[in-house]
Amino acid sequence: MTEFQPSPSQQLPHGTSCWIVTNGMAGFEMQAIGVAEALGLSPELKHVAPPAPYKWMAPWGPAAANESIAAPWPDLVIASGRQAIPYARKINRASGGKVFVAILQNPKVSPSHFDLVWAPEHDQLTGPNVISTLTAPNRITPEKLAKAADELSQRYATLPPKKIAVVLGGPNKVYRFSSADMANLAKALKELAERENAGLMVTTSRRTNAEATAVLREELRSVPHDIYDALSDAPEDNPYPGLLGLADAIIVTCDSHNMVGEATVTGKPVYVVELEGGSAKFRRFLDALYVNNVARQFDGLLETWSYAPLNATQEIAAAIAAAYSCKNKSD
């Protein structure tokens, strides 16, 4: 069961009820939970898994029957993901427009169906009720980073004072990340650790294949390091986001918009490992980070620079709170 950590600074009236509607995928759900927590809410999670042919018709078609999506309706709905969109439209209609419906990610239907839509800047979605930010919402806050770093200090106590976080993803629909690619990256990480007299705090993801992780372990065995293996280590031992809080710099692969964006919450130097493949959207996202001097492409070297930490979550929550207040005043 997800344990919510709502912000003590309540942005909506006390007692505001909230549903989060997604297909249960972690990426969608964690973004929505982050926004709800920033609003000071403990939401109710609603998972939808429409059967065929409804899932094929989403987001444009009707919503399949779902016993959990029924009155009494909440005050606020935060929905994310293609399969959730028909249910968001259904809630809007069934409640007579009384429920405030916020959508995270491009809904692929007209934003006019909803009260507010957030989409990342690289989606290039516009509209009078659309807001965009460079990075995506998440559950990372300065307070959580500090607390997690303190809790993890003993795990990394034997590493040198200078610590580098390495956040690794894996192949997906647009990027390739082979064992050979891992070997090249691991060699660069080893040389960096030797040159900087630094320790490497590494975490893999469930997309990092076992063979690539084995290659990484072999290459790094002569330098101070710690590897959390998402495929074999216990989930409760996951050091993320504590290693973000402890790190002097962060190296992250480019295959996840969320991973890169979460690194930029820290305000610390972020180096992006560019993999083979990509898409126009990812290219716009990464180039915007580079142009704004938030991140740099990893070239094996380590530099220091500063930037204002990116906090899309607070910006989105504030926009929802303002629009929610405006709607309820007009009602």
User: Band of the pLDDT at 219, cuts 50, 70, 90?
Assistant: very high
On average, the pLDDT of the chain sits at 95
Q: 235 and 173: one domain?
A: yes
Is 2 a member of any domain?
Answer: no
- Number of domain units in the chain: 2
* 175 DSSP 8-state letter: E
**Do 79 and 162 fall into the same domain?**
no
| 5 in a structural domain | no
CATH at residue 83: 3.40.50
Q: What is the pLDDT of residues 153-174, one digit of tens each?
A: 999 999 999 999 999 999 999 9
pLDDT of residue 10: 67
Residue 221 sits in a domain whose CATH number is 3.40.50.2000
235 and 281 assigned to the same domain: yes
Domain shared by 148 and 205, yes or no: yes
Q: What is the pTM of this model?
A: 0.91
Element (H, E) at 271: strand 270-273
Across 315-325, average pLDDT = 95
Tell me: the pLDDT tens digits for 110-138? 999 999 999 999 999 999 999 999 999 99
Shared-domain flag, residues 106 and 156: no
pLDDT at residue 3, as a whole number: 74
Q: In the prediction, which pLDDT does 14 show?
A: 87
For residues 147 and 252, membership in a common domain is answered with yes
Q: What percent of the chain has pLDDT over 90?
A: 92
> What residues contact residue 307 under an 8 Å CB cut-off, 6+ apart?
264, 267, 292, 293, 294
> Does residue 42 sit in the same domain as residue 172?
no
Alpha carbons 6 and 14: distance in angstroms, whole number: 12
Question: pLDDT tens digits, residue range 204-214?
Answer: 999 999 999 99
The answer on 109 and 174 residing in a single domain is no
Residue 96: left if φ>0, alpha if ψ -120 to 50, beta else—which one? Answer: left
| 76 and 171 fall within a common domain | no
14-50 pLDDT, tens per residue?
Answer: 899 999 999 999 889 999 999 999 999 999 999 999 9
On the 0-12 / 13-18 / 19+ scale of CB atoms within 10 A, 284 is middle
CA–CA gap between residue 135 and residue 127 (Å, rounded): 19
Are 154 and 285 in the same domain? Answer: yes
Answer yes or no: is pLDDT of 303 > 80: yes
Domain of 53, in residue numbers: 18-134+313-330
Same-domain check for residues 153 and 263: yes
Phi-psi sector, 108: left (phi>0), alpha (psi -120 to 50), beta: left
The answer to the question of residue 308 being in a domain is no
